[in-house]
Amino acid sequence: MRAVHVTTPGTAEVVELDDPTPAPGEALLRVRFAGICGSDVQTFLGTQPFASYPRVPGHEFSAEIVEINGVSDRFSPGDVVTAVPYFQDGTCYACRRGLLNACEHNETMGVHRDGAFQELLTMPLDRLHRADGVDTRDLALVEPFSIGYHAVRRAQVAEGERVLVIGAGAIGLLTMLSALTRGAQVWVADVVPARLGVAVSMGARGTFDLRTASIPEAVASATDGDGFDVVCEATGLPVSFTNAIEAAAQGARLVLIGNGTREVTFNQSVLIKKELDVLGSRNSREVFGTLVDLLERGAVDVSPLRTRIVPFTEATQALEGAAAGAGEDLKVLIEFPPAP
C-alpha cells in the first residue's frame, strides 16, 4: 500500500509500505477521504513541536472496513466509518476524572503517531463510528465538526441566544453550524468576503467584514447594543480575543477554539466588569456519534466546506498550497482510491 510520508520538514513523498495487519479487536480500514488540517500543515513545515519524522499526516478521515480481527456485532467488512483519532494514556489525572479529551499525554494521529494519509490503516473497533448512507466526503468532516460542536456544548449555547463566531475558516463555520443545531441565531465575522458568503449560505443570520466593520457596529446592528450571549473565537489571533471580549454582553460566555501562538494583552478588569465566563475548548471524542447521526438524518449540510479534492498522489502540492495560505479554500480533502 502507498502512504504520504513527510520525510523531513518541508518534504513529502508517496512511499510504498507493507500492508498493516489488524491486531485482535482492530479493523483494517481502507481510507477514502482525509482532510488537511492546520496541524498537518505544521507537521509538514516542522513547526509542530510534537512531530517526529518520518510522519504520515492526517486525522480527519472516512474509510471502509476491509476486515475485522475478531467478532463484532456492530461492524462488518464494507461498512463506511469515521474514527476518533485521539489516543489517551488512561492514567493521568485528567483521564482518571473522565476528561479524556484533556489527557496530559494525548496523542493525535498525524502528529504524535502516524495518521490517515495512507491507503490502509488499522484502528481499534471502539474508536469507529459507522455511518450509513453518508457521503464519504462529508464523513471526513466529522472530526473538525466535533471541535465546533464541543465548543458550543462547553458554552451551553441555548435556543434563541445571539452568538458571534469570529473566524470563518472550516472550524469557525462548523462552530456556527453547531450553534444553529441548538436553535441559536448566529453572526459570523471574518476578513475574507468569500468565506462570509459561505457563512450566509450555511445559515448565518448576518456577517461582519472586520476590514471595514467595527465590533461596536456589529454589536449595535445585531444585538441592539446588548452584546452577544456567546462569542466563539476561532482564529487564535490576539486581536480576535480582545474583539471577543468587546463583543460579549454582560454575563456572556466566551469560548476559545483558535489555537494561537502569540501573546495577548488585555485589561483583566473587563472580565470582572462584564462577569464573563471564559472557556477553553479542545477535542472531544464523545460527540462523534451525535454528529454522524446528524449527517445520517440529513439534518446538517457540511458539503459547502469541502472546497477542493485532490488525489493523494498530489498530497505534497496540496500541503505546500495549504502552507502558503491557499486563498479561499476552506477544507481540502485528499482522495484515496476505492476498493479494487
Applying CB under 5 A, which residues contact Zn ion?
Answer: 88-89, 92, 95, 103
Distance of closest approach, residue 96 Cβ to Zn ion, in angstroms: 8
Say which amino acid occupies 207. T
In the bound state with Zn ion, the residue whose beta carbon lies nearer, of 92 and 278, is: 92
Spatial separation of the C-alpha atoms in residues 120 and 109, rounded to whole Å: 14
What phi and psi, each to the nearest 5 degrees, are found at residue 15? -120, 155
In the bound state with Zn ion, the residue whose beta carbon lies nearer, of 101 and 136, is: 101
Spatial separation of the C-alpha atoms in residues 321 and 87, rounded to whole Å: 29
In the bound state with Zn ion, the residue whose beta carbon lies nearer, of 105 and 297, is: 105
Distance of closest approach, residue 1 Cβ to Zn ion, in angstroms: 31
Distance of closest approach, residue 94 Cβ to Zn ion, in angstroms: 5
In the bound state with Zn ion, the residue whose beta carbon lies nearer, of 107 and 296, is: 107
Distance of closest approach, residue 87 Cβ to Zn ion, in angstroms: 10
What is 44-78 written as a DSSP string?
Answer: HHT--TT--SSB----EEEEEEEEESS--SS--TT
Length of the chain: 340
Spatial separation of the C-alpha atoms in residues 253 and 250, rounded to whole Å: 9
How many C-beta atoms surround the C-beta of residue 149 within 10 A? Answer: 26
Say which amino acid occupies 161. E
In the bound state with Zn ion, the residue whose beta carbon lies nearer, of 96 and 211, is: 96
Distance of closest approach, residue 93 Cβ to Zn ion, in angstroms: 8
In the bound state with Zn ion, the residue whose beta carbon lies nearer, of 195 and 285, is: 285
Spatial separation of the C-alpha atoms in residues 195 and 305, rounded to whole Å: 10
Distance of closest approach, residue 98 Cβ to Zn ion, in angstroms: 11
Query: How far does the chain reach from its first CA to its final CA, in angstroms?
Result: 12
* C-alpha grid cell, residue 216: 461596536
